[in-house]
């Protein structure tokens, strides 16, 4: 069964709707009650001001024997100018407080029992009192003003005004909020759906591209269609796809080159074995074939070792064993190993290193491996009689080991590729083209750097290691 909320589009749409619904709920449940309280408070203030303005005309008609007709006329006038129902009450304060009506501008309005409590508070306190009460004719705003003559409370004038208009306005606002909220909710849901659909469409495009890349198809470029986060993700993904395509091409070339390098000596071995089966071979020829067989086996052994080293380096599986090492002495020892080969090549091999120790923390076996690769490379790619100089020194807080020769130099078109696996120059030199690639990887694993400078008559490979 499909779960609707598993879809990012549906979740984003729901989030948009919930945010708008929450905002509407806050406005409806928090803002409108406060608005109603504010409107009621404003009405009480206006009613109290009207009561304070009209009550003086009523102070001398309570308890003075004024004809009832005049009392009612003044009460009606006060009600007219205050736009409120006015009830005049006479008060007798004592052991038992007595309050009874004298005149009412609108008989049938609020009953005496409903306004009695507010009137009594005003009479006892001698100060105006405002409040709201629920009456038989609806909720009313009340303002009770004591009628004082000769410093004595003679009565109370209660001004009452209906709050139905406030309630009607608040109810209208609530209805408008609900209607506007419902419209906003629908629009938010639609907008959320449209935005979420656009976003998920872009994500789906990346997902389809990722599936193609996972299947080995690197042909479809991913174009960044904007500068936002998804656009940056698309650009990063496209860059990753290009790198994976390059790695895939390199992998295929590596396999093809390795297969070719392995096939050649294996075919040679097969051919020599067939020749050795010939019983009519003389001993001299047989010995010559056996020597060539040993050479091919050595070539296969070296190739297998180099392939294994390169694989370990690229996978990060090669372990380094650093220890305190005198690289000057190491350079002399490695140069000594190549003295016979240099003599056979007619090369002049020199070592330039200070007598004082040049000690650093490094893996001596791996440093020696790099030096052997560089020396072997110098002997293979230079003509007979070339001078080769091995040097070790401290430079600017680093230790450098350098192998320089006075050969013909490296061609400009060859220079960018010399550290690539299986790359060999066109001079017919032996080797699988893995040595310099391994040397560069070893240098980087030791947090160092292997660089080359070449001009006609001088080529120098320099290994720089942190001191």
Q: Which pLDDT value is given to residue 279?
A: 63
> CATH no. for residue 292?
1.10.287.130
Q: What is the pLDDT of residue 416?
A: 85
pLDDT at position 248, please? 75
Residue 224 covered by a domain: no
Task: State whether 157 and 171 are in the same domain.
Answer: no
User: How far apart (Å, rounded) are the C-alpha atoms in residues 449 and 463?
Assistant: 6
Do residue 291 and residue 398 come from a single domain?
A: no
Residues 371 and 442 in one domain: yes
Q: Both 310 and 422 in a single domain?
A: no
Same-domain status, 206 and 248 = no
Q: Which pLDDT does position 250 carry in this prediction? A: 65
- CA angle 148/152/154 to nearest 5° reads 60
Nearest alpha-carbon partner for 182 in 194, 193, 172, 174: 174
- Of 288, 315, 342, the last residue of a domain is 315
What is residue 4's predicted lDDT score, i.e. its pLDDT? 59
For residues 48 and 187, membership in a common domain is answered with yes
Q: Please state, in angstroms and rounded to a whole number, the distance separating the CA atoms of residues 279 and 271.
A: 15
Buried b (16+ CB within 10 A) or exposed e, 139-174: ebbbbbbbbeeeeebbbbbbbbbbbeebeeebeebb
Pair 398, 462 in one domain: yes
d(C-alpha 240, C-alpha 235), whole Å: 9
Residue segments in the chain with a per-residue pLDDT below the cut of 50: 1-2, 428
- 237: in domain: yes
Q: Is residue 218 part of a domain?
A: no
- Give the pLDDT confidence score for residue 1 in this predicted structure: 45
Same domain, 69 and 128: yes
Written in H, E and C, the secondary structure of the chain is CCCHHHCHHHHHHHHHHHHHHHHHHHHHHHHHHHHHHHHHHHHHHHHHHHHHHHCHHHHCCCCCCCCHHHHHHHHHHHHHHHCCEEEEEEEECCCCCEEEEEEECCCCCCCHHHHHHHHHHHHHHCCCEEEEEEECCEEEEEEEEEEEECCEEEEEEEEEEECHHHHHHHHHHHHHHHHHHHHHHHHHHHHHHHHHHHHHHHHHHHHHHHHHHHCCCCCCCCCCCCCCHHHHHHHHHHHHHHHHHHHHHHHHHHHHHHHHHHHHHHHHHHHHHHHHCCCCCCHHHHHHHHHHHHHHHHHHHHHHHHHHHHHHHHHCCCCCCCEEEEHHHHHHHHHHHCHHHHHHHCCEEEEEECCCCCEEEECHHHHHHHHHHHHHHHHHCCCCCCEEEEEEEEECCEEEEEEEECCCCCCCCCHHHCCCCCCCCCCCCCCCCCHHHHHHHHHHHCCCEEEEEEECCEEEEEEEEEC
Q: Is residue 405 part of a domain?
A: yes
The tally of domains found in the chain comes to: 4
* 80 and 139 together in one domain: yes
pLDDT (tens digit per residue) in 372-407: 989 988 988 888 889 999 999 998 889 999 999 998
In-domain check, residue 192: yes
In a domain, 96, yes or no: yes
pLDDT tens digit sequence for 202-241: 778 878 888 887 777 777 777 776 777 777 877 887 888 8
Question: Are 148 and 91 members of one domain?
Answer: yes
Domain that holds residue 91: 56-162
CATH number, domain of 86, equals: 3.30.450.20
Let me know whether 249 and 202 are in one domain.
no
d(CA 92, CA 101): 12
CATH number of the domain bearing residue 385: 3.30.565.10
Per-residue pLDDT, 45: 92
Q: Is residue 447 part of a domain?
A: yes
* Residue 220 domain-assigned (yes or no): no
Q: Are residues 445 and 369 in the same domain?
A: yes
């Amino acid at each position: 069964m499909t779960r609707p909320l598993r879809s990012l589009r549906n979740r984003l749409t729901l989030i948009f709707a919930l945010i708008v619904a929450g905002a509407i709920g806050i406005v409806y449940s928090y803002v409108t009650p406060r608005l109603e309280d504010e409107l009621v408070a404003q009405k009480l203030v206006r009613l109290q001001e009207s009561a304070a303005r009209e009550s003086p005309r009523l102070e001398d008609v309570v308890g003075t024997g004024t004809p009832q007709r005049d009392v009612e006329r003044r009460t009606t006038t006060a009600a007219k100018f205050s736009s409120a129902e006015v009830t005049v009450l006479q008060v007798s304060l004592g052991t038992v407080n007595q309050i009874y009506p004298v005149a009412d501008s609108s008989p049938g309005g609020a009953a005496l029992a409903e306004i009695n409590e507010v009137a009594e508070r005003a009479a006892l306190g001698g100060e105006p009192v405002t409040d709201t009460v629920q009456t038989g004719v609806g909720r009313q705003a009340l303002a009770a003003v004591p009628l004082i003559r000769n410093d004595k409370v003679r009565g109370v004038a209660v001004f009452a005004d209906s709050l139905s208009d406030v309630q009607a306005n608040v109810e209208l606002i609530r209805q408008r909020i609900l209607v506007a909220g419902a419209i906003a909710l629908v629009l938010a849901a639609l907008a959320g759906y449209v935005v979420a659909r656009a976003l998920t469409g872009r994500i789906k495009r990346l997902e389809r591209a990722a599936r193609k890349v996972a299947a080995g198809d690197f042909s479809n470029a991913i174009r960044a269609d904007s500068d936002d986060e998804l656009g940056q993700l698309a650009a990063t993904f496209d860059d990753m796809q290009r790198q994976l395509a390059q790695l895939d091409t390199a992998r295929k070339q590596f396999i093809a080159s390795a297969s070719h390098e392995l096939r050649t000596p294996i075919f040679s071995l097969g051919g020599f074995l067939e020749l050795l089966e010939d019983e009519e071979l003389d001993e001299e020829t047989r010995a010559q074939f056996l020597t060539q067989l040993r050479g091919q086996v050595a070539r296969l052994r070296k190739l297998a070792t180099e392939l294994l080293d390169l694989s370990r380096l690229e996978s990060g599986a090669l372990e380094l064993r650093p220890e305190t090492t005198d690289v000057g002495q190491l350079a002399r020892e490695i140069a000594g190993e190549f003295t016979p080969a240099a003599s056979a090549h007619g090369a002049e091999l020199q070592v330039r290193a200070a007598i004082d120790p040049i000690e650093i923390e490094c893996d001596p076996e791996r440093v020696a491996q790099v030096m052997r690769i560089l020396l072997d490379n110098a002997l293979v790619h230079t003509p007979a009689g070339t001078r080769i100089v091995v040097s070790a020194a401290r430079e600017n807080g680093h230790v450098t080991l350098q192998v320089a020769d006075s050969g013909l130099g490296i061609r400009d078109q060859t220079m960018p590729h010399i550290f690539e696996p299986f790359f060999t120059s066109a001079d017919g030199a032996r080797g699988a083209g893995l040595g310099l690639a391994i040397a560069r990887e070893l240098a980087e694993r030791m947090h160092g750097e292997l660089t080359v400078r070449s001009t006609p008559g001088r080529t120098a490979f320099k290994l720089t290691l942190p001191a």
